[in-house]
Chain A
Amino acid sequence: MNRVDKKFKKLKKEGKKAFIAYITAGDPALAMTERAVLALEGAGVDIIELGIPFSDPVADGPTIQAASQRALKKGASLKKIFAMVRALRRKTEMPLVFMTYFNPVFKFGLVKFFKTCREAGVDGVIIPDLSIEEAGETIALGRKNVVATIFLAAPTSPRKRIKEIAAKSRGFIYYVSLTGVTGARTKLPPEVAANVKAIKSITDKPVAVGFGISDAAQARTIAKCADGVIVGSAIVKMMGAGTKGALGKTVKLAESLARAIHGE
């Protein structure tokens, strides 16, 4: 069983929801990302989403755009990020999933990408610009290499598409809370809970909610309806400040989010 599935199974037994934290790999530097993953695990994060920086991140708001630019300037690449994951795997068994745009994967080579994921210890991939229509080969290679293909469902997705998305997803279904790009919002749409409920009536797979969630109060609300809560920009902002003590502050934020999500 994949580490993501195991984690959700374990949390379910404990009656808990998953805290999924996103960080941009290589921002401000890859060595820092490695330390951050371990620190976040200690702070109560259940699953890490490692963002693969891309020059043209159309689904991301200003915070992650800036983080991607910084990481690219520092020379982050898939090859180096795989090396970092290998190093991490000597230290942790926590589930790691990639969040990447399609082109870096395509250029790396799909077959080689999935083989390397398996061998390095990457448990899943989220590709926001890869629609289910275009995902045939990706899904086949994901299955072959036991790498979860996590698809996104949106507030605009009709029921029929959500069914397909759920059927094609492994690990969990990523529900996008709002129509928009990533980034902290002061208010989330009131219909999130109802929409998550609708998805859960279609599938038994875990549903995690992301986009816009930035503080403990929001995380607590989302944790009531979803199986997982994804926080990205708020963490990236804290980390990417790059100032002394940034990691410490990030851990503090993660701890408060973990308490909210785990119902402590």
Chain B
Amino acid sequence: MLPDKKGYFDGFGGRFMPETLMPVLYELSDEYKKAMSDNAFKKEYEYYLKEYAGRQTPLYFAKRLTEMMGGARIYLKREDLLHTGAHKINNTLGQVLLARRMGKKRVIAETGAGQHGVSTATIAALFGLECEIFMGEEDIRRQSVNVFKMKLLGAKVTSVSAGSKTLKDAMNETIRDWVANVRDTYYVIGTVAGPHPYPMIVRDFQSIIGKEARRQIIARENKLPDYLVACVGGGSNAMGLFYPFMNDKVKMVGVEAAGLGMNTDKHAATLCKGSVGVLHGSKSYLLQNEDGQIKIAHSISAGLDYPGVGPEHSYLKESGRAEYVAVTDKQALEGFRMLTEIEGIIPALESSHALYYATRLAKKLSKKKIIIVCLSGRGDKDIDIVRGAL
């Protein structure tokens, strides 16, 4: 079972954090272990997932899209139908319940596209906790609707103007706040990154995606899928879909953002083009220069605009268990339009990366094959960006 006791996925992961935070990481590990063996906690989590967030989500057979491609059958795991519009709530619900168990009165989070921020602010409102969200100045500009939502939900939104003014800098600032307020504050990390135990906790909370999808596809097709396809920024929706299929004969493909192209400097294809390093608490693939300085990532989708990736994905890449590819901004927009026009579903730009790749893949496969794509979020938040780009 990975991660090991030290938080490693065969060489990736670990706990690279300032000393001030180390004791709370142990506290979190202990509390999480207790919570997971506490039926009351699990029941409460399941209750809110069902009654509040709207689980289970459908596994929808995209009939017209499948016919258009003329190959493998394409199923969509509809995380976009969840409350707040993305898979993020699976994790924020779980973590905020943990924060309450630990007696923390305040939650903080970083956000890129604003989905994780909105989701955290939502659950904080639900439980009456103080909430502060850190967001890059550039992301605040391109995701103004989500910023307004977070404020309506009672969260304080703090603009981060350092560095690239995007997700990685928001994460730096959230860690700084955490160091200063660790005694009463819980950090709700939004993806399968960060120091141990976060990559494990976030994966576990997100693995409801794969658990349901596995059950649903067997009920529907009486067999397992051939491929799982999901977008990868930090990698939480992909880990959530992949994890319950880990021991099955199912191929897994993570789709990164190739931005303006893999041969340019403007992409976020960490696993495809990066190298191993240490950022935000764990050892994993990174976009960095030869001096170990972190590069600025680029993607049309703010949620994929991150120069790191969860350590378990690095492990899956190295071990060959999963394959990682990249899709450009332009291709993602094509995926976005295709699903909107053919199926009447407006996907998030993040998910559009996975969709585009899945359609190319479907074309090459026989009609007997099955692909499940994680439709991680809906595209309402991206309407302005798409309007500007088309």
Instruction: State the A residues within 8 Å of B (CB).
Output: 54-59, 61, 65, 69, 72, 77-79, 102-108, 128-134, 151-158, 161, 165, 176, 179-181
Contact = CB atoms under 8 A, between A and B. Distances in A.
Contacts of A154: 18-20, 22
Contacts of A58: 18, 172, 175-176, 179, 280
B295 to A, nearest CB: 8
A72 B294 CA distance: 11
Contact of B24 (A134, A156, A180): A156
B19 A107 contact: no
Contact of A77 (B15, B162, B180, B291): B291
Contacts, number: 118
B22 A134 contact: no
What's the interface size class on B, roughly?
35 or more
A157 B183 CA distance: 12
Please name the 5 residue pairs, one residue from A and one from B, whose CB atoms are nearest each other, closest first.
Answer: A107-B292, A104-B292, A180-B180, A154-B20, A55-B293
Interface of B: 6, 14-24, 162-163, 168-169, 172, 175-176, 179-183, 275, 277-281, 286, 288, 290-294
A129 B278 contact: yes
Given A156-B23, A161-B22, A179 B179 contact: yes
A29 B388 CA distance: 41
Contacts of B182: 156, 179
Interface of chain B: mostly helix, strand, loop or mixed = mixed
A227 B162 CA distance: 35
A92 B125 CA distance: 59
A61 B168 CA distance: 16
Contacts of B183: 156, 179
Contacts of A155: 20
Contacts of A69: 162-163
A157 B22 contact: yes
Given A103-B286, A161-B23, 4 more contacts: A54-B293, A108-B292, A131-B15, A131-B18
Contacts of B179: 58-59, 179-181
Given A103-B278, A106-B278, A180-B180, A158 B23 contact: yes
B294 to A, nearest CB: 5
B16 A129 contact: yes
B188 to A, nearest CB: 17
B14 A134 contact: yes
Contacts of B16: 102, 129-131, 134
A61 B22 CA distance: 19
Contact of A165 (B19, B169, B275, B286): B19
Contacts of B275: 107
Contacts of A108: 291-292
Given A152-B18, A156-B20, A161-B23, A133 B163 contact: no
A52 B286 CA distance: 19
A104 B293 contact: yes
Nearest to A160: B23
17 contacts: A56-B169, A58-B18, A58-B280, A59-B179, A65-B162, A69-B162, A103-B278, A103-B288, A106-B292, A108-B292, A130-B16, A133-B22, A156-B183, A161-B19, A165-B19, A180-B179, A181-B179
A244 B278 CA distance: 38
Contacts of A57: 172
A144 B22 CA distance: 27
